[in-house]
Chains A and B, each alone.
Chain A
């Protein structure tokens, strides 16, 4: 009888341990999803702001057709992207194009005095900040989750229930490479 109880006891402990790992994996995966939805909200906000912005600047910027067309093209590319990697690439390009617009604006003092443009610019700046702050949060969560999936013994449970590693969201901003970083 005694060996039976020992075996039963070990089994019970194993099951509890197993359930614990499974639940923690689920929790981490949900946190990643939640962090992603926060980025998504901000990315959508940026997409929504762009038509208004283009409408406002069009009248002033006669010589920047290429810049404006780029923004429109990258915006639709970003809106159609499905995977995290694709999205990151498209959003990076969009960010770069918007950066180019920001620099181009400097040549149009009338536009810089336009109240409507100023408030749009503030919204856009803030949205970009929110994207970068929520991106940091998302990448933190992905790191925790991926670590858990790769490490023993939780990798066994992850393998059984096909928990897949998530992608980091790294924006490739061409303008970031062009501008030398200033260290304070």
Chain B
């Protein structure tokens, strides 16, 4: 297992360096264009500074910002004991030392994400809609996928790579907009001092770089992101030993037509499935952070066992090509654990909307009182009286 992380890290590092070179090239070209005498050094420094500052912020504050943006609330185990149990099960299965913090998001759309720079600082967040819709096996599949992201150290890498992409886009946007405003004024000014011919070439090179570098960096970033999703599926199944759980959860998630209100382009890559409507998803293609959900489901359902080798076999079968998704060193992992049995019970009978509402009430510390007459009362935390009488039969309940 550990080998897989290391192989992952090596590959990520190479891609990371490539994006870094893109950032430096962009900075150099722009500053050379603005001020040829500086040889592009100041541009490189500015580009790197922007990247470092943004990286530091997202490294240390990223999880907090993400949780605040999605309006997630930290919960204790009595709000949803099953969720806590499942997270602990997956913690044991992964052999990780720390229990992540658990958050619930007040959204009806089913989705989930993991955040945090290391297993010690990990956070797992799920929406109320997800808890309302999934049965135990499916929820375990989703949590296993999220814990796999934590285990594979995906979050730290994707955050840093995402910030680098962000910096590249930011710098090229500033440059291109500046060009529009000044109408290439810099060209006239500088063409007096040096040869106009070479200046023109530099300008074209800088323009081309400002347009192309963000595109290539984007394609690179999205390609890694998609690969990491497949890997998290494979690792998650190895934890839970039950591919059908995740497959059926993904089916339910993709079947939902509700869009998440609190997500945007920046936070989207963090979720287990893209939190957008179908129309937006279709427009993505190469620029998608997630592999097509149908393909993920087909791979999971084609698995013969729960090990990495089984995922690789299923991946090749579905994709119809020999290309590997699991690094070779991961395949050497001698794990031939079979698929476990399903928990037959627990079909969600009540409407998902009502369930989600109840979960959010629990998150917001409402108290639930089951009266003998069959009525279920939901008491808000503001209610300060010591007892409450049932509105249907009049029985007095002490709080």
Contact = CB atoms under 8 A, between A and B. Distances in A.
Interface of A: 38, 115, 119, 122-123, 125-126, 129-130, 132-134, 136-137, 179, 181-184
A125 B88 contact: no
Contacts of B95: 137
B183 interface: no
What does DSSP make chain B's interface, helix, strand, loop or mixed?
helix
B341 A182 contact: yes
B93 interface: yes
Contacts of B343: 125
B350 to A, nearest CB: 13
Contact of A137 (B82, B86, B92): B92
Find the residue from A126, A130, A134 having the highest chain B CB count within 10 A.
A126
Interface in B320-337: 337
A130 B81 contact: no
B81 A184 contact: no
Interface of B: 81-82, 85-86, 88-89, 92-93, 95, 136, 243-244, 301, 304, 337, 339-343, 370
Contacts of B243: 184
B88 A122 contact: no
A107 to B, nearest CB: 14
B339 A184 contact: yes
A125 B339 contact: no
Nearest to A134: B92
Contacts of B92: 38, 130, 133-134, 137
What does DSSP make chain A's interface, helix, strand, loop or mixed?
helix
What are the 4 A-B residue pairs with the smallest beta carbon separation, nearest first?
A: A126-B85, A133-B93, A133-B92, A129-B89
A9 to B, nearest CB: 35
Find the residue from B85, B88, B136 having the highest chain A CB count within 10 A.
B85
Contact of B88 (A130, A136, A179, A181): A130
A145 to B, nearest CB: 16
B244 A126 contact: no
B301 A123 contact: no
A119 B339 contact: no
A136 B337 CA distance: 9
A38 B91 CA distance: 12
B93 A181 contact: no
Contact of B136 (A119, A125, A179): A125
Contacts of B88: 126, 130
Given A137-B93, A182-B341, A183-B304, 18 more contacts: A115-B370, A122-B81, A122-B82, A123-B81, A125-B343, A126-B82, A126-B85, A126-B88, A129-B89, A130-B88, A130-B89, A133-B93, A136-B93, A136-B337, A179-B341, A181-B341, A182-B342, A184-B339
A122 B140 CA distance: 13
Contacts of A182: 341-342
A126 B86 contact: yes
B244 A123 contact: no
Contact of A126 (B89, B304, B337): B89
Nearest to B247: A184
A177 to B, nearest CB: 13
A137 B97 CA distance: 13
B81 A119 contact: yes
